[in-house]
Amino acid sequence: MRNKIIPAALFGYFALMIVALLAMGFYWNNFQKPPEQPIKFPHDIHAGKLNLPCQNCHQYTDKSMRAGIPAMQVCMNCHKNAAIDRPEVQKLLKYWENKEPIPWVKIHGFRKNANVRFSHKRHIKAGVECTTCHGNMKVTKEVRRVVNLKMGFCVSCHRANAAPTDCWTCHK
């Protein structure tokens, strides 16, 4: 009897672990993976190769709480003529012709119930580089979060730069 129970238990235990692992992988692949954008916008070409400054397109970073997704007109300034034969640019032109907004997927943000009030303007004025939170866009093909944007990250940077760490500074 024992001769059969132990190998069966071993097998069951490992099977359970493998199933758990695969379920976690499946969940990650379907729900937690960095999202795919409607257009594969290459930051490395625009910010890297062409050396466009961030604020060339994200115009509200130093003027508002939100950096803002560039208006399509900003894209069209150049892409009326530039690289119109590329498939991803043609997607852009199609949205433009159909007068539809591009359904970009949000990547950076806070949980609603965290009640965080983050202002881009304040941070830019204080001299924080865009790369501190967004990573080096000059080499990034596909945008994904490079920092976890949890409270520990914010607070350690606030401490290191002698910025206020009152709850009310960020939470409203």
Partner 1 sequence: MNFISNLITTPTKEHLLLNHYIIIIISLVFLTYIGILFGSVFLSLIYFNRSRSEENPFFLKLAKDLASTFIGKKSTGLILGIIPSFVLLVSFSQILYDSSILISQYFLYIFLFTTASVLFAHLYQNSMLNDEKNEQVRNLWGALTLVGLVLMIFTFISTTGLILFPSRWTLVRMQIPVFFDFNIVVRFMIFFAAAFAVTGSAIIFFFFNWGGGLPAQSYTQAGKQNLDKDYREYVAKLGGGLSLGFTLLLPLLIVWNFKTIPPLAETYAAYWVAVAALVLLLVIANLLYLLLKNSNVKYGSSIFVLLIITLLVMTVNDNIAREQALTQQSLILAAKADEVEMEIKMEQEQAKGTGEADIAIGEQIFNSKCIACHRFDQKLVGPAYKDVLPQFENDMDALVNFVLNPKKVNPDFPAMPNQGLKPQEARAVAKYIMHEYQTKYK
Amino acid in position 65: M
CB-nearer residue toward partner 1: 81 or 113: 81
Residue 59 binds partner 1 (CB under 8 A): no
Cβ–Cβ under 8 Å, residues 104 and 37: yes
Give the x-and-dash track for 93-122 against partner 1 (CB under 8 A): ------------------------------
53: enclosing H helix or E strand: none
Residue 51 binds partner 1 (CB under 8 A): yes
Number of residues that bind partner 1 (CB under 8 A): 47
CB-nearer residue toward partner 1: 160 or 172: 160
Residues 2-41 binding partner 1 (CB under 8 A) are: 3, 6-7, 10-11, 13-14, 17-18, 20-22, 24-25, 28-29, 32-33
Taking only Cα atoms into account, the Rg of the chain, rounded to an integer number of angstroms, comes to: 23
CA atoms within 13 A on the CB side of 132: 14
Name which of 172, 121, 132 is nearest 156 in CA terms.
Answer: 132
